[in-house]
Amino acid sequence: MSAAEFPAETATTGEWVRQRNRFTERVTADGSSGWAALPGRYHLVVSLACPWAHRSLIVRRLLGLEHAITLGIVDPLRDERGWRFTLDPEGRDPVTGIRLLSEAYLASDPEFSGRYTVPALIDVESGTIVSNDYHRLTLDLETEWHALHRPGAPDLYPVQLRAEIDEIDELVYRDVNNGVYRCGFAASQRAYERAFDALFRRLDLLSERLERQRYLVGGTITEADIRLFTTLVRFDAVYHGHFKCNRHKLTELPVLWAYARDLFQTPGFGETVNFEHIKNHYYRTHPAINPSGIVPAGPVSDEWHTPHGRETLGGSPFGTGTPPVD
């Protein structure tokens, strides 16, 4: 299951607590961490349903790291053993040869007893996991893999804006990215209402900020926009109903809805979204929340392609960089 899955534990207050990442090694440009940024050495395993994995998928695409880091995509549905490579021929990941992500986890730590989460960056030679730290993984792709970025790759984590990006990321993580799960997996009414209030209070503040500027920090897309986008793009499809985040739909929040469509229509974003995987995963793998397993037919994804009008605020998606190309 992903880092965005079943409750890791429920505190006495009924609040849901996320499992900590087990593997937090870093890949660095000079290899001083023990892991060097080298082409072909690492394999990124993701679920297209998971917002935490989605971050790394977008960053890999925007920076043109497809040639350097291979990609494995798991089935959006799991059995009791966790994430499976049933989308691949013979049910095996073609790069590592494993059938289950748990095999890489247990090869890395035979005593591991937690949840097998995505994203997972695997060392191809040893078959062990270098990192499942979704917080740090994208930052390292942006800062330690420069030599392998495509020509014209945007700067998603500019030095002069990092303090502001980090501040925004912390608030968005607490109240929005993780907040929707604190709503959905709350084990008491009070815990749910606290998470619900914090979520929509933050969305209101983000709406105020984005009413005046096209992107969260500066005049171009940064890491902060990527982290917010992966929650917003799932909001109406799963979080609004499935996780009871239902004060408003995203489509009823004009500024955030336009902002999300702007990003969706930007190269590198919309093509990484798979609503079929998203809805099937959430509605069919949380039986405590949706025991019938019925997947809703809506909402209609065509609305994501409607005009957003955000260009009038100025800014440029990639600054002096260029969009990704196939």
* Residue 105 annotated in ligand binding: no
Residue 272 falls in which region: left (phi positive, over 0), alpha (psi -120 to 50) or beta: alpha
* Residue 116 annotated in ligand binding: yes
Cα–Cα distance for residue pair 38/74, rounded to 1 Å: 24
Active site residue 183: no
Q: Which of 134, 157, 181, 192 is catalytic?
A: 181
Cα–Cα distance for residue pair 253/276, rounded to 1 Å: 24
* Residue 285 annotated in ligand binding: no
Q: HSE-up of 53 (CA within 13 Å, CB side)?
A: 29
* Residue 259 annotated in ligand binding: no
SS3 130: strand
Residue 74 is which amino acid? V
Long-range contact set of residues 270-274: C-beta below 8 Å, sequence gap at least 24: 270/304, 271/61, 272/48, 272/54, 272/57, 272/58, 272/61, 273/48, 273/54, 273/233, 274/48, 274/49
- What tokens does 294 get? 């019925």
* Residue 174 annotated in ligand binding: no
Active site residue 50: yes
Annotated binding-site members: 83, 115-118
Report, as residue numbers or ranges, the catalytic residues: 50, 181
Annotated binding-site members for glutathione: 83, 115-118
